[in-house]
Amino acid sequence: MAEISLVQGDIVEQEVDVVVNAANSGLMGGGGVDGAILRAGGPAQLEARRKLRDRIGPLPTGHAAWSEAGDMKCRWVVHVVGPVFSRNENRAPPLESCYREALALCDELGAKSVAFPAVSAGIYGWPMDSAADIAINTVRATTTDVEDVRFVLFGRAAYDEFSRALGT
């Protein structure tokens, strides 16, 4: 069973096997976590994303794919596309799928440590309390060989919500 921990800080600074990217379906960069990972990974990360995009096309919501990390401390980046929040439609299943699919790819890669952001809780508008509950509950319910799962949260409010969801 994976040990789940929380870190308030910058996901690109984590010394883990895999950093999970909250990507858009085009995979070629954006704001928030996605932009930070692209900047930290440098030209090699950009090229790895181009190759991935050319190979698979747009990444659907709720799915995951991996690329080399480029200049980052981690070895791989697992890209997930979270859903945009909606008050009128239950989009929790694709958000749960992001975490499950990312962990499945970590297992395929042989990764023992992974850093997740709060997927969909930035520009995609997912309320942080719900995002935290979904993330923690999904990781807890997923069978994986990953030993170290950490959620790296940019601000204190996000950290506090994940702490509540984790029960710490």
139 residue type, one letter: V
Ordered strands of the 148-153 beta sheet:
3-8, 148-153, 113-116, 18-22, 76-80, 64-68
Closest CA to 2 of 168, 159, 147, 161: 147
Neighbour tally for 43: CB within 10 Å: 9
* Residue 89: half-sphere exposure toward Cβ, Cα within 13 Å: 8
Do 114 and 16 meet the contact criterion of CB atoms below 8 Å apart?
yes
| 34 classed as catalytic | yes
Which one of the listed residues 34, 71, 107, 133 is annotated catalytic?
34
Q: Which residues are designated catalytic? A: 34
